[in-house]
Structure 1
Amino acid sequence: MKTPIVIQLQEMASDSQNHLPDLLRKALLISSKLGLEDFKSWVISELNGYQSEEDIPRYRIIGSQLKVINPYHGYQPFIIEDGELARVVSEVKIFESVESLQHLISKSNSKNQLTFPFAPEQKAALMRMQGGFAQLEPTRIIGSNQVKSVLEQVRTQLLDWALQLEARGILGDGISFSAEEKAIASKNQSAISIQNFQGVLGDVSGGHISQSMSMTVTPGNFDSLAKYFRQEDVAEEDIKSLEKAITEDPEARESGAFGPKVSNWIGKMTSKAANGSWAVSVGAAGSLLATAIAKFYGL
């Protein structure tokens, strides 16, 4: 007698020596035959990698150590005084497929550390926040054990799902399912599911700036800059704070090399984007602000 495919999946998921992509492919076969589309979509994402930040499950969002790359001393801590901004910026959303993650772990260095770089516009914003002339490239470092934990959670989810199927009398005959089993699966779509908690920690891996360079910011005209920022939903009190910072700072001579008070203002606005009090993604915020201010300075 052939072992039911659901029991096969349980046995495979219970043994950590079994190749995780093989488990996922078996789960893909089961979910396809039962018409469990939500679960099938999750399996395909784990096999092929995630395409959208909105689809990233919470277990694929992990914390990292923020570092800057010092050309003489190697990795050095990158301190962001705003705790909320530091927390959000240090979050790493892992898009890669399980196969890629397994390969990444196998190739990790002797210190078992992995490096996750920032998107270009986010990197530029973080470098501007450092102020001064020694602006060093920031990056995020995580332990390979954190990636292993992601993979183990996928394995556990598969086992739990297979147990849910068995609890409802869905086992299969070899690799086939009866009409009754398919009907049970159809009626229990939401119950036979995975804890696919969505990431709600903000956009920390870049994103497109929703701005047009047709913005009418006239060099030296703060009213035009204020008007542009109002269109981007910047609060009136924040606009007034920027005006004060521009007045008190020396005039910028090159793009990105703003005075300390303007740079601090950009940092505070980026923090607001990170905690949701300004409706712009944190990845886009730094570039949006810096581009407009640079245009005001005529840079």
Structure 2
Amino acid sequence: MAQPIILQLQELASSSKHDIADLLRKALIVATKLRLDDFKVWIGAELNGYKDANSIPDYRIIYGDVRVQNPYRGLIPLEMPPELRKTLSVVRVFESVSKIQELASVDGGEAICYYLPPKQENAVMQAQGDYPMRPVRIVSASTLLATLQAVRTRILEWALQLEEQGVLGHGLSFSEQERSAAMSNNIRIENFQGVLGNVSGGTVSQTNSLTVQSSNFESLAKYLEQQGVKTDEVKQLEVAIASDSRPESSSKLGPKVSAWVGKMMVRAASGGWDIGVAAAGGLLTSAIAKFYGLP
């Protein structure tokens, strides 16, 4: 006889060896069969990403180290009052669980860069004076992965509580008695660790993350396209990189790559690229330097 689906769910949730997205999809089957709409909405948001800041659960609010992108020296500290630093360091993780897993595993688990919301970014750059540099929050891979462990814990707690209520399921079916027990006031998503708030599914709100891998042009291309660089412009960069010798530092890129960066900054200055000129220079130089494996 097949193991009851609730026990299967407990087994999947109790081990990090099992894929988090597979765990959530099985939990979605259970929530749908038991007619638990609040759980369905929460699971959908974890699978697809959260679409607005108000829907972010507490375990998806983490903190990063605030830096700025210097076009010549890479990421450097930014001097600011402690209270402002604390405010800017807050990162709300919108991405789906699969995207979180992908981000945290790039380059063997390097730190990830999260850009500030537009209003905060503009304020910080204006405060820097004549030579503004784009601010980012540096988040460790382990901190990001902790959000996945929180999801596992909630599903495990839910599955254990369902078992306590006599809800096990046979195959993929539940009896009316089991549905009634599951829908009781004792088993609700907000009863688990931390209040989840107004959780809602939908399309993911994109958070740009610097995830370029050394010598991997595909990762560089993907990152640049996320920033609004056109496909034909990315192809032009690929040709330029192939033509130039590998630079010794990010401040001395090859002539063809430098010309490409200059062309992109002109596009930014003319309004053809939805990003400021100073930010464009730092963004492109940092991404290309990371591709070359430069500090």
Q: Identify if the C-alpha distance between structure 1 residues 52 and 26 changes in structure 2 by more than 3 Å, giving closer, same or farther.
A: same
CA contact 1:56–1:93 (8 Å) conserved in 2:
yes
Query: Number of paired residues?
Result: 199
1:24-173 equivalent positions in 2, closer than 5 A: 24-81=24-81, 83-107=82-106, 109=107, 112-130=110-128, 132-173=129-170
Structure 1: runs of 5 or more not aligned: 207-299
Instruction: Report the AA paired with residue 115 of structure 1.
Output: C
TM-score under structure 2 length normalisation: 0.63
Q: Identify if the C-alpha distance between structure 1 residues 196 and 48 changes in structure 2 by more than 3 Å, giving closer, same or farther.
A: farther
Partner of 2:266: none
Q: RMSD of the alignment, in Å?
A: 2.2
Deviates more, 1:190-199 or 1:67-76: 190-199
Partner of 2:172: 175
1:126-275 equivalent positions in 2, closer than 5 A: 126-130=124-128, 132-188=129-185, 190-191=187-188, 193-195=191-193, 197-198=195-196
Partners of 1:160 and 1:153 in 2: CA distance: 11
CA contact 1:36–1:189 (8 Å) conserved in 2:
no
* Alpha-carbon distance, 1:100 to partner: 0.9
CA contact 2:62–2:92 (8 Å) conserved in 1:
yes
Q: Deviations over 1:77-103 (max 9, x none)?
A: 11221x333212110000000011111
CA contact 2:68–2:78 (8 Å) conserved in 1:
yes
CA contact 2:104–2:141 (8 Å) conserved in 1:
yes
Partner of 2:4: 4
Q: Identify if the C-alpha distance between structure 1 residues 187 and 199 changes in structure 2 by more than 3 Å, giving closer, same or farther.
A: closer
Partner of 2:276: none
Partners of 1:48 and 1:106 in 2: CA distance: 19
CA contact 1:39–1:194 (8 Å) conserved in 2:
no
1:187 is paired with a residue whose SS is: coil
Q: Identify if the C-alpha distance between structure 1 residues 80 and 111 changes in structure 2 by more than 3 Å, giving closer, same or farther.
A: farther
Instruction: Report the AA paired with residue 13 of structure 1.
Output: A
Identity rate of aligned residues, in percent? 43
Q: Deviations over 1:4-39 (max 9, x none)?
A: 100000011112111110110010010111111111
Q: Identify if the C-alpha distance between structure 1 residues 86 and 152 changes in structure 2 by more than 3 Å, giving closer, same or farther.
A: same
Partners of 1:72 and 1:141 in 2: CA distance: 18
Instruction: Report the AA paired with residue 40 of structure 2.
Output: K
Q: After the TM superposition, which segments of 4 or more aligned residues of structure 1 sit over 6 Å from their partners?
A: none
Partners of 1:99 and 1:3 in 2: CA distance: 27
Instruction: Report the AA paired with residue 87 of structure 1.
Output: K
TM-score under structure 1 length normalisation: 0.62
Partners of 1:176 and 1:26 in 2: CA distance: 13
CA contact 2:69–2:75 (8 Å) conserved in 1:
yes
Partners of 1:58 and 1:183 in 2: CA distance: 29
Structure 2: runs of 5 or more not aligned: 199-204, 207-295
Q: Deviations over 1:234-289 (max 9, x none)?
A: xxxxxxxxxxxxxxxxxxxxxxxxxxxxxxxxxxxxxxxxxxxxxxxxxxxxxxxx
Deviates more, 1:181-190 or 1:22-31: 181-190
Q: Deviations over 1:93-124 (max 9, x none)?
A: 000000111111222x3671101112333211
CA contact 1:64–1:142 (8 Å) conserved in 2:
yes
CA contact 1:53–1:199 (8 Å) conserved in 2:
no
CA contact 2:162–2:187 (8 Å) conserved in 1:
no
* Alpha-carbon distance, 1:195 to partner: 3.5
